[in-house]
A = this chain, B = another copy of it.
Amino acid sequence: MLNFISGGVCAAQGFRAAGIHVGVKTHAAWKKDVALIVSDVDCAAAAVFTKNVVKAAPIHVDKAHLAGGKARAIIANSGNANACAPHGEEYAQRMCAAAAKAIGCGAEDVLVSSTGVIGQTLNVQVIEDGVPALYAALERSDEASDAAAHAIMTTDMAKKEVAVETTVGGKIVRMGGIAKGSGMIHPNMGTMLCFLTTDCAISPEMIKTALLETVGVSFNRISVDGDTSTNDSCIVLANGLAGNPCITEKGPDYDAFLEALQALCVELAKRMASDGEGAKHLITCTVKGAKDVTQAETVAKSVISSSLMKAAIFGADANWGRVLCAMGYSGADFDPEKVDVHFASAAGDIAVCEKGRGLDFDEAKAKTILTEHDVEINITMGEGGAACTCWGCDLTYDYVKINGDYRT
């Protein structure tokens, strides 16, 4: 029995969080810029990082700290990516050390993330000076998770915070997450940070497996702008306080845990796509009738990534030719003459293409459908029985505005 609940990263037992302003973001003193998430006890920990060859300093540090598969805390800042910048790893280490000192654990038990501008020296001093106040602010509450969620935002317009509750091995297990990500979002971990906490008892090996199985069907199925960042990180901490028999292998308990983790992360991913820089629409592209999931995913990703399709949705223009075009250059091999396309939303459903040919359709009805915030592109390929859903957003004036002058 899977339920969405409140509490974000504090939903699970034994997790406290905080988010405050220390001065990394210099232009807005009211904007929180450092977050801390701490478990009362050691956690099994796993993470997935960007595949970009250019990796931010915190990622190198985290990889070392995760060697033992455990952690106690995450410290993260916004306003500076600590990537391609002087003293990167040294400063990332200093962030861990400052948090560890306050918590009373080893620096290697702390994970670190940064997000913001690339290539500028991180003001690590203000973070170190701020850690005592950050630690003092730790709480297990909705407000504390909310503060942490705000502290990792950059151009995000909306906070992303989700939590779910399920039953594993006869015990109530809770898990929650906060995420940031608005630009540079693309399959293979776009610029996103996501911190997940759970009180489930699970081994480091199995939490790693579950995270990999989850990222592939959630964060790797969204795209905002095709740019994959230097800082992407998705970290999960599991502290075992739910008291379930520890999950050490695949089976019903693992399946229940995985189902909840995937529900959590799909929801966070959709919120990221919906909050894509400048976005006015969440676009859900579902491909059915594909030969296999890989084909369905290849096609759906290509459609949600097409600038022309994205601009058409911004204009509420039912330009399905761009959908076929994006399918065609996706790299998937298929017969265009078997493809059907529908547009849909809360305002209705309209068939626009059948067997690869345009239908005469009611343009006014199509416009009404595409004017809704949440729009769907539903494709049937006629090749087999596999399906996949990916999420994206439209391309708008505001995307250009936000990114035309981000640094200043």
Task: Please report A residues at the B interface, Cβ cutoff 8 Å.
Answer: 51-55, 81, 83-86, 117-121, 183-184, 186, 188, 225-230, 305-308, 311-312, 314-315, 317, 319-322, 324-330, 332-334, 336, 353, 356-358, 395-397, 399-408
Contacts and interface: CB of A to CB of B under 8 A. Distances in A.
Given A183-B308, A227-B308, A317-B404, A329 B53 contact: yes
Given A315-B404, A400-B399, A403-B307, A118 B227 contact: no
A118 B322 contact: yes
Nearest to A87: B357
Nearest to A315: B404
A84 B121 CA distance: 52
A294 to B, nearest CB: 15
Contact of A403 (B86, B308, B326): B308
A338 B324 CA distance: 41
A404 B328 contact: no
Contacts of A403: 307-308, 311-312, 315, 395
Contacts of A229: 325
Given A53-B327, A227-B307, A400 B395 contact: yes
A324 B118 contact: yes
A88 B86 CA distance: 59
Contacts of A305: 226
Contacts of A402: 311
A326 B406 contact: no
Given A311-B403, A395-B400, A321 B53 contact: no
A336 B88 CA distance: 14
Nearest to A52: B328
Contact of A230 (B227, B311, B328, B358): B328
Contact of A397 (B306, B358, B401): B401
Contacts of A400: 311, 314, 395-397, 399-400
A127 to B, nearest CB: 19
B358 A85 contact: yes
